[in-house]
């Protein structure tokens, strides 16, 4: 069985959207900033590994900070505080009202579908920061002690 997962990079952006998949990634916390950011503390699953001779998986997973930029028109529709991402999509590209100021040509309607509701908003894109090297677990969630609690840190880890 693989003992190390080689991270391709530690910072992912909306330019990587088509190769990223947030299915079954738990959201530990949500924050909003004065800089019009929506920040999610998540456990990102980099790879699903089928356990030999079973129908069960292990997961290469790491705590990450997912920061959406220039966010507005936010709607959160859920009756629960425990959120797990099912799917993230973007649609309806349009020119931002403040495009000259922010230096972005497009914003999108973003939909974060969770297993218990949706988070919808407009944003020009995101940056996802990997906070720790991925570890191999049988669970799709890292326990709070190992992940260092809830964090919105965007510091860089070392790949080597």
Q: Beta-strand (E) ranges in the chain? A: 11-13, 25-32, 38-50, 57-69, 72-78, 83-94, 107-114, 117-123, 125-130, 135-137
Residue entry with tokens 């936010």: 74
| Mean pLDDT computed over 5-25 | 95
Residue 120: pLDDT above 50? yes
pLDDT at 85 over 60: yes
Q: What is the mean pLDDT of residues 2-24?
A: 91
Q: Is the pLDDT of residue 157 over 80?
A: no
- Tokens in use for 6? 């080689």
In angstroms, rounded to a whole number, what is the distance separating the alpha carbons of residues 68 and 121? 10
- pLDDT of 109 over the 60 cut: yes
The two three-digit tokens of residue 35, written as one number: 């800089």
CA 145 – CA 139 distance, rounded (Å): 15
- pLDDT category of residue 1 using cuts at 50, 70 and 90: very low
**What tokens appear for 145 in the block?**
């002690």
Give the pLDDT score at 159. 63
Mean per-residue pLDDT of the chain: 93
Q: How far is CA 118 from the centre of its chain?
A: 14
pTM: 0.93
Where are the domains positioned within the chain? Answer: 11-139
* Best CA proximity match to 42, nearest among 12, 4, 85: 85
């Amino acid at each position: 069985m693989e003992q190390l997962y080689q991270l391709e990079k530690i910072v992912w952006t909306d330019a990587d959207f088509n190769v990223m998949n947030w299915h079954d990634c738990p959201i530990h916390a949500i924050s909003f900033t004065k800089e019009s950011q929506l920040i999610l503390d998540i456990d990102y699953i980099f790879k699903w590994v089928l356990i030999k001779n079973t129908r069960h998986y292990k997961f290469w997973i790491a705590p990450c900070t997912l920061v959406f930029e220039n966010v507005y028109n936010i709607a959160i529709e859920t009756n629960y505080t425990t959120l797990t991402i099912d799917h993230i999509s973007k649609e309806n590209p349009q020119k931002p009202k403040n495009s000259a100021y922010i230096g972005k040509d497009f914003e999108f309607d973003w939909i974060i579908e969770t297993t218990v509701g949706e988070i919808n908003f407009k944003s020009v894109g995101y940056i996802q920061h990997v906070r720790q090297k991925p570890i191999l677990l049988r669970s799709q969630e890292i326990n709070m002690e190992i992940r260092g609690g809830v964090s919105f840190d965007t510091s860089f880890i070392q790949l080597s």
